[in-house]
Copies of this chain bind each other. A is one copy, B any other.
Amino acid sequence: MAPIEALVEQLLAGNRRALGRVLTQIENDTPAGRRALAALYPRSGNAHTVGLTGSAGSGKSTLTGALAREFRARGRTLGIVAIDPTSPFSHGALLGDRIRMQDLTADPQVFLRSMATRGALGGLAPATSGVVTALDAFGKDIVLIETVGAGQDEVEVAMMADTTVVVLTPGSGDDVQAMKAGIMEIADVLVVNKCDLPNADLLARQLRTIVEASRSGRLTPIVRTASALGEGIGDLADALEEHRTYLGASGVREAHRREQARHQVLALARQRLIDRLVMAQGADGRLDALVEEVAARSLDPHAAADALIGEGR
């Protein structure tokens, strides 16, 4: 295997195979992956990153594929990161989605990467961020990040993007009133997908009411699409380009990226600290002794955690 520095050079020269191999190192958080990221990070920051999230069954994958084709028709190059949830529920449906996206991968100007969510220790967001950085440094104009908006982690990943798109569908059982605060907090663009279904008008009207009520500066656009029929995709691409222009003109992008950097540095530091702690404690058996006390109910878990990190007791 070529040293990582050579792979990074090949990646920066436009070699897709080198990109794929570097992504594997980054995803697995190997020392080589970290060196690659350190080299690529200063070359990144030029792509427009777009996160798409929404309930399972909202047609996000079909929409992401249609959007990618639209941007290709506009001459843009694309990276696509598709996040599959760790949860055993809904995995099957996603496999089908991924297969439907395969035709895109025949286009040399599109690079699709599927990622599985990891364990509970907060690995998804950093791994995704690293993959996005590499696609960005590779020179893609736009990086689409598609996640199932099922849990906190997935929503967080969609929020790592410059522009976050929330996809809703009529009659999905999503109660728009109940989730309005959540939507307004994360959505830069709202999409009513499957707009050929009954109640699409009702959903769009409800969203408009919420958007107007929570107005604070920019009015969140609401785009109607039927991704399976190819309807409204041009409008969505327009809305995304407008948001990119808005971000660049207003200085909002810099503030947003700074906030993201802070969040990411803290998340990584947390992970490092726990790795270090487990290594140190594993060596002298102190963790095992504390676990025994907790299992025997002679010590509660909080007191054990304090003891482990050298507080209290």
Contact = CB atoms under 8 A, between A and B. Distances in A.
How many copies of the shown chain assemble into the complex?
A: 2
A157 B150 CA distance: 15
B274 A269 contact: yes
Contacts of A181: 88
Given A174-B92, A177-B92, A302-B38, A45 B297 contact: yes
Interface stretch (A119-127, A195-203, A226-234, A238-246): A119-127
A134 to B, nearest CB: 11
Contacts of A183: 88
Contacts of A276: 309
B92 A151 contact: no
Interface residues of A, number: 87
A152 interface: yes
Nearest to A277: B269
A311 B151 CA distance: 32
Interface stretch (A1-9, A14-22, A258-266): A258-266
Interface in A280-302: 287, 290-292, 294-295, 297-302
A150 B89 CA distance: 7
A272 interface: yes
A295 to B, nearest CB: 4
Contacts of A277: 266, 269-270, 273
A269 B271 CA distance: 11
A152 B89 contact: no
Contact of A261 (B149, B173, B295): B295
B269 A91 contact: no
A302 B34 contact: yes
A55 interface: yes
B150 A87 contact: yes
A152 B119 contact: yes
A264 B179 contact: no
Interface string A106-119: 00000000000101
5 contacts: A42-B300, A86-B152, A117-B152, A153-B153, A276-B309
Identify the 10 closest CB pairs spanning chains A and B, nearest first: A92-B175, A151-B151, A88-B182, A268-B305, A92-B178, A41-B300, A88-B179, A261-B294, A150-B150, A269-B305
